[in-house]
A and B are shown apart, each in its own frame.
Chain A
Amino acid sequence: MKLLTANRLTDGLVLWYADGQWVEDAAIATHLEDAAGEALKAEWAARETEVVAPYLIPVTDDGTPVQRELVREFVRANGPTIGQTTFDTAKQFKRDEVFQ
């Protein structure tokens, strides 16, 4: 399974593909079959005025990214792990950190 993610052109914020639209909360990202994920990635790669550089993240059965993507996607999904904006994204959606 895969998650489709990108950054929004206008503000650069991290986006996740969920049920036909882009959302900022990784917790509700849709788990896509590999082929469907590839097709959506190709479709959105051409829509450059909306999102920048969409890519797929492989996820395991329990919904966390596979080992190689873990730290990077953990940080993208929740916010920096340090400083004044520690876990700002997770806090914004009033949730615990995802992809632990």
Chain B
Amino acid sequence: MYVYDQFDHALVRERNAEFSDQVARRLSGELSEDQFKPLRLMNGLYLQLHAYMLRIAIPYGVLSSVQMRKFAHIARTYDRDFGHFTTRQNLQFNWIKLADTPKILEELAEVEMHAMQTSGNCIRNTTTDQFSGAAKDELDDPRPWAELIRQWSTIHPEFTFLPRKFKIAITGATKDRAAIRVHDIGLHLTPKGFEVYVGGGMGRTPHLGHLIKSGVPGEKLLSYLEACLRVYNRYGRRDNIYKARIKILVSALGPDEYARQVEEEWNTLDQAAIDAPYYEIDRIRSFFPDPAFADKAFDQAALDRAKAADPAFARWVRNNTHPHKRDDHVSVTISTKPVGLPPGDASSAQMDVMADVADSFAYSELRVAHDQNIILPHVAKADLYDLYQQLDRVNLSTANAKKISDIIACPGLDYCTLANARSIPLSQEISKRFADADLTDEIGELEIKISGCINACGHHHVGHIGILGVDKQGIEFYQILLGGRADEKAALGVITGKGLPAEAVPAAIERVVRLYLQLRTSPAERFIDVVERLGRETFAEALHEPA
């Protein structure tokens, strides 16, 4: 993974000094809350319902065991012993004191981490495929490009006060695991350069991104992005926060006109001054080699015996491993979603174990996936049973990757000042309803995504089943969306049926799922396939209690 040099270290140190000074000025009264708020947000610090929340950047979701151990330490020392992994491949601490933040940022800097631009109306953490550099279907590795974008976008002087936040995602595989069509900019890395999708997003008015240009060469990527951002910064709406994202601009201008303006702007830019030259790209790329793969003797018969002796292990191997570019390795999903617990939460003890197993079995590397799970990208098949047993001791062995209980949920009204309804209790109730692992396996791949408000941090628009919490006169109600997906066939879910009170939702979902099981032509036909084949309306009636 990328290693800081003197310049990266200095910049983070200088930024932390700047923020320490801003915190001191806020505490002394020199800065008003109104003035301080955008400054603290740009350093990842929110004031939530109960306390300050600090969101730490995990660049493109990649972290080392040393960094994971640092999270455990921060959780123990400055928080209430746990942290929360988010859908932007970041980590949030929920109980932070304002006066502690400079010290925490200093601790993070020791392990080459920061909280810059994890909030605010600026360019946020670029996200990517959690299996980058490991997946069998990868065409090219997006991580060097994500790092290039990280550096270019960090304290970008022109784009720090954009109309609204700005999110970029990159994928380099045939399957899109980075949800590029629902990002402000989605980049598809192909052998012929980048395909650039602009204007996707969720929130109040969801849009799928439009392809505005193909074949942007890597060495011109930054200047092209700069042109995209400049057109947005100048012409994106600033009069209405709900219409300020780039999707509204692209939709108002039309994708062709937006593309034309970008092209025009691109041609005025001094591209040679803006674009990092090949030697910098090569330098960054050199930090992402394959690990020194261990040639461990792999005994398929031994693995089969372990699976036969331990059916829970067999299920975990079946559900939570992903094909690796090497036949003797796999990528492993560590589920943060045991039945009945909050998705994405991990205790300091669990973080320590994840760091330890990464050291023992995964070349010290971990990833945070946008579905809030943790990935070990490279694990020798020979080590799977040992790994599984260590994870199992700390409740990290739930075998539900991509299954119905692998639910994405935003923090919701249990933590968030923006939320209208709680998300996590509902996710817990749904996962309890489908606690039977055999039933879960029979249902197969099914993505449920829950947001506690229209801002859609829980990605409800692209859930096979999406759930949106709303407030009706002080009562939490939930609207159900069907048919969304975030992959290479991205589609937006549509609200189906009437809103339901929380206690009615798990049963409604079970009725929908039972109907799916009746309607599918074979177990290979997934829920989303049946919804697409028969239409959402087929399931509308099942959402409501039979009279």
Contacts and interface: CB of A to CB of B under 8 A. Distances in A.
Given A68-B474, A84-B80, A76 B97 contact: no
Contacts of A72: 49, 413
Interface in A51-86: 52-53, 66-72, 75-76, 79-85
B269 interface: no
B47 A7 contact: yes
A89 B50 contact: yes
A10 interface: yes
A12 B94 CA distance: 11
Interface residues of B, number: 38
Given A9-B98, A11-B97, A71-B413, A84 B29 contact: no
Nearest to B30: A49
B50 A81 contact: no
A80 B341 CA distance: 13
Contacts of B425: 81-82
Interface in B394-433: 413-415, 421-422, 424-425, 428
A98 B52 CA distance: 23
A48 B51 CA distance: 16
Contact of B413 (A14, A67, A75, A88): A75
Contact of A10 (B82, B99, B474): B99
Interface residues of A, number: 29
B160 interface: no
B173 interface: no
Contacts, number: 89
B98 A10 contact: yes
A36 interface: no
A74 to B, nearest CB: 9
Interface string B11-39: 00000000000000011110011000000
B473 interface: yes
B75 to A, nearest CB: 10
B345 to A, nearest CB: 6
A24 to B, nearest CB: 11
B523 to A, nearest CB: 33
A42 interface: no
A28 interface: no
Contact of A80 (B98, B415, B475): B415
Contact of A81 (B28, B48, B414, B474): B414
A43 B460 CA distance: 41
Contacts of B475: 67
B474 A71 contact: yes
Q: Is the interface of B mostly helix, strand, loop or mixed?
A: mixed
Contact of A67 (B27, B52, B422, B473): B473
Contacts of A7: 47, 51
Contacts of A83: 82, 341-342, 345, 414, 424
B49 A14 contact: yes
A18 to B, nearest CB: 18
B33 to A, nearest CB: 5
A70 B414 CA distance: 13
B476 interface: yes
B473 A80 contact: no
B85 interface: no
B347 interface: yes
Contacts of A75: 49, 413-414, 422
B27 A76 contact: no
Contacts of B33: 48, 52-53
Nearest to A82: B424
B37 to A, nearest CB: 9
Interface string B318-345: 0000000000000000000000011001
B81 interface: yes
A12 B473 contact: no
A11 B51 CA distance: 6
Contacts of A11: 51-52, 97-99
Contact of A66 (B341, B414, B474): B474
Contacts of A10: 27, 97-99
B342 A82 contact: yes
Interface string B465-485: 000000101111000000000
B96 interface: yes
B32 A48 contact: yes
Contacts of A79: 50
A23 to B, nearest CB: 15
B95 interface: yes
A67 B473 CA distance: 7
A12 B98 contact: yes
Interface in A20-45: none
Contact of A12 (B26, B28, B97): B97
Interface in B64-104: 80-82, 94-99
B80 A88 contact: yes
B474 A48 contact: no
Listed residue (B28, B347, B413, B428) with the most chain A CB atoms within 10 angstroms of its CB: B413
A3 to B, nearest CB: 15
A80 B409 CA distance: 15
B28 A49 contact: yes
Listed residue (A10, A49, A83) with the most chain B CB atoms within 10 angstroms of its CB: A83
6 contacts: A12-B51, A12-B97, A53-B47, A71-B422, A72-B413, A84-B347
Interface of B: 26-29, 32-33, 47-52, 80-82, 94-99, 341-342, 345, 347, 413-415, 421-422, 424-425, 428, 471, 473-476
Interchain residue pairs A-B with the least CB separation, the first 5 = A67-B474, A80-B414, A12-B52, A12-B51, A11-B97
Interface of A: 7, 9-14, 48-49, 52-53, 66-72, 75-76, 79-85, 88-89
